[in-house]
Structure 1
Amino acid sequence: MIFFIFFSTVLLSVYSYVGWRFIWTLQTRSLYKSLFLIILMLFYCLTIITFIFYFNKIENNITRIIAWLGYVGLGTVSLLFFIQVGADLLLLVKSLLAKSHSFDPHRRAFLGLSAKTIVG
């Protein structure tokens, strides 16, 4: 039972991260965002329900369809999760390596005049 609680917590965090990074950043109407969130929650619940059916040894055609849909959702969300984590890591490396240089012509002129004053 502890494994099931731990697994469902990790699964919820993965689904939440995918929903937060992909769905909230969409530039669409809130109706579509709500629809995507409901589908995401449905995939999460189908995966959990599949394990509950498995532990209680309930197997028929409906549970196989539920399991199939849950695993398809799990695969889709896992793929989106690793794509988003990879994109976030690339953006982090890019921000660390590529420092922006702010060029201020007034500062350059001030430093040039200061150097001329000291030398001359």
Structure 2
Amino acid sequence: MFKLPLALTSAILLSGCASTMQYTSDYQNNNSSYEHGEVYASLTRTTDPGFFKTTIKNEIEIFIDDELVTKAPLYQDYSGELYFFYQGMPVEVNCVQPHIFTTPECSVQINGKRSGKLAFQMR
């Protein structure tokens, strides 16, 4: 008699507990100079367990010289390709998670030249 209400209450409580992981990046520049500015990114992973399905959302914010230049979603496995313009130059960012036990990383190309890599760590 009490099993069904208890099960429903447990399911509702579990489905309302979302968790968030924050990552910050270090920029590994290919050159000794910062020709196009310093690149920084913040990555947020939100996990929202539902009753039948868990929803995972990854969102990346990319900054160049402390200016937010784009905010975009990534796939659940942290992969994704972003294309945008910064000061009239095309920027391409390719993100992957090399192995399941490593943090994500993104390669950055500005104006057709490989500029560097964003390596993420948990905050």
Tell me which interval the TM-score lies in, with the shorter structure as reference length. Answer: under 0.3
Please give the TM-score of this superposition, normalised by the length of structure 2. Answer: 0.24
TM-score (norm 1): 0.24
Structure with bigger helix share is 1
Higher relative contact order (CA 8 A, sep 6+): 1
Q: Which has the larger radius of gyration?
A: 1
